[in-house]
Amino acid sequence: MTDTTASTENAAIVGREDLHDIEAILSVVGSDEGEVIRAVKDNADALFTWNYEKGERPALNRLYEKAKTSMWNGETDLDWSIEVDQEAVVVANAAGAGGLGPEMDLAGTPFEKWTEKEWLQVGIESQNWMLSQFMHGEQGALLCTAKIVETVPWIDAKYYAATQVMDEARHVEVFAKYLDTKLSGHYPLNAHLGLLLDDIIEDSRWDMTYLGMQIMVEGLALAAFGFIHQLTTEPLLKQLLRYVMSDEARHVAFGVLSLKEYYAELSDTEMKERQEFAFEAAVRMRDRFLQQEVWARMGLDVKEVLPLVMAAPERAMFQSMLFAKIVPNCKKLGLLDRNDGWLRQKFTELGVIQFEDWADTAEEYEMFALAEGEVASQQA
Q: What residues make contact with Fe ion under the rule CB under 5 A?
A: 138, 141, 168, 171, 218, 248, 251
**In angstroms, what is the C-alpha Rg of the chain?**
21
Minimum Å gap between C-beta 172 and Fe ion is 8
Instruction: Name the minimum Å distance from CB 266 to Fe ion.
Output: 24
Q: What's the CA gap between 245 and 170, in Å, rounded?
A: 12
Q: Please say which residue, 156 or 218, places its beta carbon nearer to Fe ion.
A: 218
Give the rounded distance of the alpha carbon of 1 from its chain centre.
30
Q: Left if phi > 0, otherwise alpha if psi is -120 to 50, otherwise beta: which for 351?
A: left
Closest CB 332 distance from Fe ion, rounded Å: 18
**Which residue's CB is nearer to Fe ion, number 248 or number 364?**
248
Q: Which is nearer to Fe ion, 241 or 352 (CB)?
A: 241
- Residue 299, classed as helix, strand or coil, is coil
Report, in Å, the least distance between residue 374 CB and Fe ion. 18
Which one, of 227, 234, 42, 240, lies nearest residue 138 by Cα?
240
Calculate ∠ Cα 289-301-312, nearest 5°: 45
Q: Which is nearer to Fe ion, 248 or 287 (CB)?
A: 248
CB closer to Fe ion out of 251 and 346: 251
CA distances from 69 to 23, 72, 145, 233, 311 (A): 48, 9, 19, 29, 45
Least distance from Fe ion to the Cβ atom of residue 141, Å: 5
Q: Which is nearer to Fe ion, 140 or 328 (CB)?
A: 140
Nearest-angstrom CA–CA distance, 1 and 271: 19
CB of 257 to Fe ion, least distance (A): 15
